[in-house]
Amino acid sequence: MQLAKVLGDVVATHKDASLTGLKLLVIQPLNADGSSFGRALVAVDSAGAGVGETVFFVRGKEASFPFHPTEPPVDAGIVGIVDQVHVPDPLPGNR
């Protein structure tokens, strides 16, 4: 799992039929210190997240698991909403 910040939502009128009714969100992956890294991506939401929230997301086949028995064609999925992050100072491995 990785952390990300929800930046916005995606509206698509033409899409694969198995995506009907699923919420798509634009997310920005985060480092442990909360800074952005990498490129923003679109993820399917199974947790009810909203813009501005910090979330857990998974990549790969696991992204479709919350929607079992259907397997929507997704490669990123939000699986949790983060309430709080605590990282010890200094970070392990950065001493």
Q: Percent of the chain beyond pLDDT 90?
A: 64
Q: pLDDT-derived band of residue 94, with 50, 70 and 90 as boundaries?
A: low
Q: Residue 29: give its domain's CATH number.
A: 2.40.50.220
Whether residue 94 lies inside any domain: the answer is no
Cβ atoms of 85 and 34 within 8 Å: the answer is yes
* Phi, psi dihedral angles at 17 (to 5 degrees): -60, -30
Token pair 């939401």 is at which residue?
Answer: 45
Residue 38 lies in a domain: yes
Closest CA to 82 of 61, 57, 56: 56
Domain membership of residue 86 (yes or no) is: no
- Residue 88 placed within a domain: no
- Say how many domains are in the chain: 1
What's the predicted TM-score (pTM) here?
Answer: 0.87
* Residue 35 resides in a domain: yes
- 27 domain residue, yes or no: yes
For strands 76-81 and 41-45, give the pairing. parallel
Owning domain of residue 22: 2-81
